[in-house]
């Protein structure tokens, strides 16, 4: 029996916190959280906080999973529609940029490739929602402002959107209860990361493909707030619209969006 087989694991396949926290630094920080409960403190850490000198950024999603699935109360179908909304946005952004931004060379190839990837994600997520008895959201109406008016503004926005996509999938993963849906999300997450790294390499040498050892997760609420701040979605996004009466329960088809 090798070392990996001897390592204790939780029902979700992850090792217990004490296995990773050999020197007790994480547990000590949790104990110093004061009036906060452990769940609330971990939630703050996952959002990117630094407490008592311990950076939780990359451990945020792991910590949520340790604490019982994130406690978001969001159904798997709602999470899928949340992901679908982001993929709609990215797909249409690249399509518009190809028409209006005057892209050439590698940047044109970048936009063409990502448009194709995001279109595949849209189709896959839509069919998965339907197979689970839910209703895919209707495509929102988008206004990308002047971000598709030039190659420079396109690339800056593209990297920002892909970074948000990575953090969105990472932050939602601990709340997914279905192993099949989790596997599907896990197959999309690294592709979004590849998109981000590729875009960064074209930013005049200023963007490192992998600037940090860990990535910050974002909750669906944080992602929706970030997207709404950009003003790209006419009328804005809300979790209620992404859920719908059936999708919120993960049950039979209903109206969403």
pLDDT on residue 28: 52
CA distance to 13, 192, 195, per residue, from 160 (Å): 32, 11, 11
Task: Give all domains of the chain, ordered by start, each with its CATH number.
Answer: 3-66 (no CATH), 76-247 (1.20.1260.10)
pLDDT on residue 247: 55
- SS3 annotation, 177-240: CCHHHHHHHHHHHHHHHHHHHHHHHCCCCCCCCCCCCCCCCCCHHHHHHHHHHHCCECCCCCHH
50 in helix, strand or coil? strand
Distance CA 233, CA 144 (A): 8
pTM beyond 0.75: the answer is no
CB neighbour list of residue 93: distance below 8 Å, 6 or more residues apart:
142, 144, 147, 148, 157, 158, 161, 232
Among 215, 251, 227, 248, which Cα is nearest to 48's?
Answer: 215
Among 161, 141, 104, which Cα is nearest to 235's?
Answer: 141
CB neighbour list of residue 135: distance below 8 Å, 6 or more residues apart:
129, 244, 246, 247, 253, 254, 255, 256, 257
pLDDT on residue 252: 33
pLDDT on residue 27: 53
- How does DSSP assign 75-105, residue by residue? -HHHHHHHHHHHHHHHHHHHHHHHHHS---H
pLDDT tens across the length of the chain (257 residues): 444 444 454 444 444 545 445 555 545 544 544 444 344 433 433 333 333 333 333 333 333 333 434 445 688 999 999 999 999 999 999 999 999 999 999 999 999 999 999 999 999 999 999 998 899 999 999 999 999 999 999 999 999 999 999 999 999 999 999 988 898 889 999 999 999 999 999 986 666 788 888 898 998 889 999 999 999 999 998 888 887 545 554 433 333 33
């Amino acid at each position: 029996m090798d070392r990996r087989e001897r390592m204790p694991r939780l029902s979700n396949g992850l090792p217990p916190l004490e296995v990773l926290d050999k020197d007790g630094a994480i547990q000590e920080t949790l104990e110093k959280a004061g009036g906060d409960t452990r769940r609330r403190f971990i939630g703050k850490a996952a959002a990117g906080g630094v407490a008592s000198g311990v950076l939780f950024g990359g451990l945020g999603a792991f910590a949520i999973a340790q604490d019982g699935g994130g406690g978001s109360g969001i159904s798997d179908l709602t999470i899928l529609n949340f992901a679908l909304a982001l993929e709609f946005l990215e797909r249409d952004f690249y399509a518009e940029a190809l028409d209006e931004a005057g892209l050439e060379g590698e940047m044109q190839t970048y936009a063409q490739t990502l448009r194709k990837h995001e279109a595949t994600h849209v189709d896959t997520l839509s069919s998965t929602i339907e197979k689970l008895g839910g209703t895919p959201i209707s495509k929102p109406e988008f206004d990308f402002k002047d971000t598709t008016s030039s190659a420079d503004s396109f690339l800056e926005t593209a990297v920002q959107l892909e970074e948000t996509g990575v953090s969105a999938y990472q932050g939602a993963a601990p709340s997914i209860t279905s192993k099949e849906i989790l596997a599907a999300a896990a197959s999309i997450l690294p592709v979004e990361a590849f998109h981000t790294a590729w875009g960064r390499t074209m930013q005049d040498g200023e963007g490192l493909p992998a600037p940090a050892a860990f990535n910050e997760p974002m909750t669906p609420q944080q992602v929706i707030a970030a997207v709404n701040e950009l003003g790209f979605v006419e009328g804005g996004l809300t979790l209620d619209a992404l859920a719908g009466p059936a999708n919120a329960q993960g049950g039979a088809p209903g109206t969403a969006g």
